[in-house]
């Protein structure tokens, strides 16, 4: 089911050269058509696409307060308690990301500084319809609220009955979402980017979605900001020979069950462990409700890489730059400093990836497809902008006048030089 590669005999270049295909042209064209329709026709287009793709015949997109309260009331107390506790863990972690501006005073009457300001309105996209992800609501909305965003607009598809999952709505209430709309797919991204009669135009769109959502986010980037282009979920478990194969297999399956395109990779230093994990995967996958999805993921995108030692294993992990990296080894902190490229790192034998998905506090919206080489998890910093300021007294500007003139004229910008010099010609 899952392929095993011995890096003693298989060149690493062969492993690393396996690239996923880009977005099909027909998807690009379909998304562009949807974006233009929503831009021109607003709510009517969003409702039409929702009925076509989701089967829900709606007359309005907005979730009102009564619907929100009723959904929360239907949730089991244990679920509400778990959501509240998870939210508190997420808030506690993300509060540490808050950064103030600064003010720098120099001799002679110069004041410089930087202000950190929240965005006014952001949109969070939460996948839905046949599945429900209240954890994504918490992960996306709580950092925005902590940053000081005044309006957090959530888009999530409803089921064919016109209802959004109760737990998703309860999470939105807990996280401080201000506006909720029943819309998904590229049409939801379009509504957030352009604004419609009922949906406010936002400054930034964050959150994961399918290929149509990801393509739409990419196409509206520039009109609005986005967090990242999220690909299928990924996990890389780096394990030593003493790791429990049953636990390792369970962790690989935790991501394989997401999507047939998901990637589950084991990198280890033991062929015995590799074979034992492969056998466990065969056994465990048959017990999963989503076994067909998990099996397809493992067969198409899963692999086990057997390295010479843990140093080579870490090197492979850095080259693959996974979304989730588990260091399932005896001394995980000894390897942590060697990790350069990973969205989120899980340390030791008792930190499964699901801990980060739901509970611990760090964000689970993470870079995928190797982009952890240069990008970061969703954070409070995604919801703020920085603005600098400059103040000079007349005396301070006089002291800088000649040097500014030299630099401006070097660049052929005479008016720049004169804008400074004119203040001293009267």
> Which residues are known to be catalytic?
323-324
Rg of the chain on CA atoms, in Å: 25
CA gap 155, 187 in Å, rounded: 10
Residue 320 makes CB contacts below 8 A (sequence gap 6+) with 16, 236, 265, 341, 370
CA gap 119, 144 in Å, rounded: 9
Long-range contacts, stretch 60-63, CB < 8 angstroms, 24+ apart: 60/198, 61/181, 61/182, 61/183, 61/191, 61/198, 61/199, 62/179, 62/180, 62/181, 62/182, 62/198, 63/164, 63/169, 63/180, 63/181, 63/182
Strand partners for 225: 204
Measure Cα distances from 331 to 91, 245, 270, 336 in Å: 29, 18, 16, 9
Buried (b) or exposed (e) across 53-91, using 16+ Cβ within 10 A? bbebeeeebebeeeebeebbeebeeeebebbeebbebbb
CA gap 373, 320 in Å, rounded: 9
Q: Are 2 and 153 in contact (CB under 8 A)?
A: no
Residue 252, Cβ density class (10 Å: 0-12 exposed, 13-18 middle, ≥19 buried):
buried
Kindly report the CA angle at 166 between 165 and 169, in degrees rounded to 5? 95
Residue 411 makes CB contacts below 8 A (sequence gap 6+) with none
Task: Please name the residue ranges forming H helices in 134-210.
Answer: 134-147, 166-175, 185-194
Beta strands 384-392; 110-118: pairing state: antiparallel
CA gap 250, 290 in Å, rounded: 13
CA gap 373, 230 in Å, rounded: 14
Find, among 195, 190, 199, the residue nearest to 220 by Cα.
Answer: 190
């Amino acid at each position: 089911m899952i392929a095993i590669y011995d890096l003693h005999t298989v060149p690493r270049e062969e492993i690393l050269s396996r690239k996923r295909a880009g977005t099909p042209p027909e998807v690009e064209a379909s998304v562009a058509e949807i974006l233009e329709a929503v831009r021109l026709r607003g709510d009517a287009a969003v409702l039409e696409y929702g009925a076509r793709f989701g089967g829900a015949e709606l007359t309005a997109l907005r979730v009102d307060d009564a619907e929100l309260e009723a959904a929360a009331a239907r949730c089991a107390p244990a679920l509400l308690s778990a959501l509240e506790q998870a939210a508190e863990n997420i808030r506690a972690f993300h509060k540490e990301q808050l950064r103030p501006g600064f003010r720098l005073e120099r001799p002679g009457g110069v004041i410089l500084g930087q202000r950190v300001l929240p965005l006014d309105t952001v949109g969070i996209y939460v996948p839905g319809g046949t599945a429900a992800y209240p954890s994504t609501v918490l992960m996306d909305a709580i950092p925005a609220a902590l940053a000081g965003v005044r309006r957090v607009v959530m888009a999530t598809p409803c089921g064919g009955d016109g209802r959004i999952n109760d737990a998703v709505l309860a999470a939105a209430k807990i996280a401080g979402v201000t506006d909720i709309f029943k819309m998904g797919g590229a049409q939801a991204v379009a509504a957030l980017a352009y604004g419609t009669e009922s949906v406010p135009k936002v400054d930034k769109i964050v959150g994961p979605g399918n290929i149509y959502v990801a393509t739409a986010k990419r196409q509206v980037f520039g009109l609005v900001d986005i967090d990242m282009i999220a690909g299928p979920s990924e996990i890389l478990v780096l394990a030593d020979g003493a790791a429990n194969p049953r636990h390792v297999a369970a962790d690989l399956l935790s991501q394989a069950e997401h999507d047939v395109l998901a990637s589950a990779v084991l990198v280890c230093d033991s062929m015995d462990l590799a074979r034992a994990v492969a056998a466990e995967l065969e056994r465990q996958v048959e017990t999963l409700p989503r076994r067909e999805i998990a099996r397809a993921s493992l067969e198409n995108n899963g692999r086990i890489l057997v390295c010479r030692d843990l140093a080579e294993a870490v090197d492979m992990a850095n080259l693959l730059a996974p979304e989730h990296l588990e260091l399932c080894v005896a001394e995980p902190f000894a390897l942590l400093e060697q990790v350069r490229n990973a969205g989120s790192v899980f340390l030791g034998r008792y930190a499964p990836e699901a801990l980060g998905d739901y509970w611990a506090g760090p964000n689970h919206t993470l870079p995928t497809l190797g982009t952890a080489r240069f990008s970061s998890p969703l954070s409070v910093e995604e919801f703020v902008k920085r603005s600098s300021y400059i103040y000079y007294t007349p005396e301070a500007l006089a002291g800088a006048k000649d040097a500014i003139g030299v630099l401006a004229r070097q660049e052929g910008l005479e008016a720049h030089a004169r804008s400074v010099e004119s203040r001293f010609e009267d």
